[in-house]
Amino acid sequence: MTPVVRWAVKKVARHAVALGGALTRRVGARPAELRVLTYHRFDGEPQNPFSMRAEAFETQMAWLARERRAVSLDAVTGFVAGRTTLPAGAVLVTIDDGCRSTLTGALPILRRHGIPAVAFLPVGMLGAERATTGFGEATMDWTEVRSLVAGGIAIGAHGWSHCSFGALDEAAMRVEAARARAVLEDRLGVPVEAFAYPFGTRRDFTEASARVLREVGYRMAFTSQHGAVTAEADALVLPRIKIESGEGLWMFRLLCGGGLDAWRVVDETLWRLQASPGNAQRGLVP
């Protein structure tokens, strides 16, 4: 299957699931539910689901601001712990991989619209050039990360070397998770208690990985499995919704309201295909 055909098939499938969700349930603002949105890059590479155009991101953030839907990581921490409530239809914006366009493309838009967000960083890969990251873009260096923090972005860990935790034994997981947290806190002077599993498919996290993360000090961890976060959710395996490029505001609104929650069926049945890091880089991970 060529990249163009794969792109088209994926879009048809996502649109069909989102529209089906709208027809079979009331997709919209609901109390006691949160959806966590995942972004990666903002360089506008054509037909790359991981690469968002700045204009599209601006439209999405403007809508969140008008609807007052965006909440902070601190608010989500309290919600998952059962201490606080969130507004109906709340969303948390997260950005993975630490790519440079997080600073140059996303931050100005987030600040313009007053949207809180979290950047999950693969700590050992910071400052790497594009040719060595596998992300299609260079990562931020420490000076740039500090600028991100100064701009109001919360920081979480995305491992040390961006490897699948499902492929590691517990000792290696502990090194990846603890080292990333310790270095972030030391270099940035901020608490780091949130983690995003690299790749995040069903093969990339386990009961052991959740236990290790808790033991080394993380309070929340996010996967790439679709669905809503509720106050009863397991804080170490929280779902997220991948926001892809090439989709209109109508689709974004459906996703924020739960339109793609049913994609979890795909997550559960095709996780063996999803698990390959090579497939993730080629855009096969839903």
The answer to whether 136 touches 45, Cβ cutoff 8 Å, is: yes
The stretch 92-101 carries a mean pLDDT of 98
Percentage of the chain modeled with pLDDT above 70: 90
- Chain center to CA of 106: 14
pLDDT score at 283? 36
Give, for 108, the enclosing helix (H) or strand (E).
helix 107-113
Nearest to 36 by CA among 75, 2, 7: 75
What lies within 8 Å, CB to CB, of 66 at 6+ separation is none
The stretch 25-40 carries a mean pLDDT of 78
Nearest to 115 by CA among 42, 166, 57: 57
pLDDT score at 25? 60
- Report which of residues 2 and 42 the model is more confident about: 42
Q: CA end-to-end span of the chain, whole Å?
A: 16
* Mean pLDDT value across the chain: 90
The stretch 75-79 carries a mean pLDDT of 96
pLDDT-derived band of residue 107, with 50, 70 and 90 as boundaries?
A: very high
φ, ψ dihedrals at 235, nearest 5° = -65, -15
* Statement: residue 279 has pLDDT above 50: no
pLDDT score at 152? 97
pLDDT score at 277? 47
CATH 3.20.20.370 is held by the domain 33-42+51-281: yes
CA distance 140 to 97: 9
What lies within 8 Å, CB to CB, of 85 at 6+ separation is 31, 32, 79
Q: Which residue ranges make up each domain of the chain? A: 33-42+51-281
Sign of CA dihedral 157, 103, 127, 144: negative
How big is the CA angle at 168 (ends 233 and 235), to the nearest 5 degrees?
A: 10
Give, for 257, the enclosing helix (H) or strand (E).
none
CA distance 203 to 283: 17
CA distance 275 to 271: 6
